[in-house]
Amino acid sequence: MSDTVFLTGASGFIAKHIIVELLNAGYQVRGSVRSLKRSDEVRAAVSPLLESVEGLDERLTFVALDLGKDDGWDGVMDGCSALLHTASPFPLQQPKSDDEIIKPAVEGTLRALKAAQAAGIKRVVLTSSAVAVMYGDLPAGKAMYDEDDWSEDFHPTQNPYGRSKTRAERAAWDFVASDAPNMRLTTINPVLVTGPALDGNYGTSLQVIERIYSGKDPMQPRFGIPVVDVRDVAAMHVKALSTPESEGMRILATEGFLWMADMARLIKDAHPNQGIKDRVAPDFLIKLMGLFDQDVRTIIPQLGQPKRVSNARAKEVFGMTFIPAAESILASAETIAANS
């Protein structure tokens, strides 16, 4: 197999794992980065996990692209057989204005899809998110969110990042339906992605685990989130390319739900000298903190409310056996410890 896959956001936490999966499966990869200075960083990160590094400079190449600009997209995907669009803005803190994150997410997705269409690419896999699924009320009698659910823009649990992922995914499906009917789209919708980073450049991806590991908070809120390992998310992207049944589907990536206090206990047991706090904070204290901390404020409507997400479709379509959430959390903590 010598097909070339175009991968946006190639220096990202998930994307580096996808590169490993693609190269080991025999694909060639053309990755986009905002600056070509990051090319060597990505090659160095993925090399230890490759079955062969022979001819790596030819098998893994890079182009400089900015999702927020029109410049540079003409012809950039020529000769590629598929697009994996992983790049999307992820804020360290909630933005002051929705447009700061929603507009770049939607416009960046459409730029990538239009470039793929111009290059004659028919197969596209888009990294969406479970936040495009699980920020809404479940119908009576339904216990878990699944791929039929869409997040509501102004649900009490929603935030600008969630709106950006929801609108970008909807824009992708709308584009395919109206402008590119021959394009075969699959979206992978992961929950909180944890697990090992391939180097120290993992951006905001492990922010939740870093916050616990740092001991920043004296107690943990009565808040939890579904978790999936980055290695499984990467595998699902690559499996989609060779699984025609996945075309036209949204597919959730999730292993299981964990409360923040449970995550803290796992990490505390593995790193007993780190001063990690695993006591559960009373809800009134979190609500008080929310008056001064916008990030805390966004979780208040979800206190004590477990978000259960189905992985039945991933198991059925891809035959996935997921890495346990606890194992993935500990792998994240090891990454953070190694880079502290």
Active site residues: 165
Cβ atoms of 6 and 83 within 8 Å: the answer is yes
Q: Which of 323, 8, 299 shows the shortest CA–CA distance to 131?
A: 299
Burial (CB count within 10 angstroms: exposed 0-12, middle 13-18, buried 19+), residue 138: middle
E-assigned strands of 105-151?
Answer: 123-127
Cβ atoms of 194 and 202 within 8 Å: the answer is no
Q: Long-range CB contacts (< 8 A, 24+ apart) of 136-144?
A: 143/308, 144/308, 144/309, 144/310
Beta bridge partners of 54: none
The 10 Å CB-count burial string (b at 16+, else e) for 249-277 is: ebbbbbbbbbbbbbbbbbbbeebeebebb
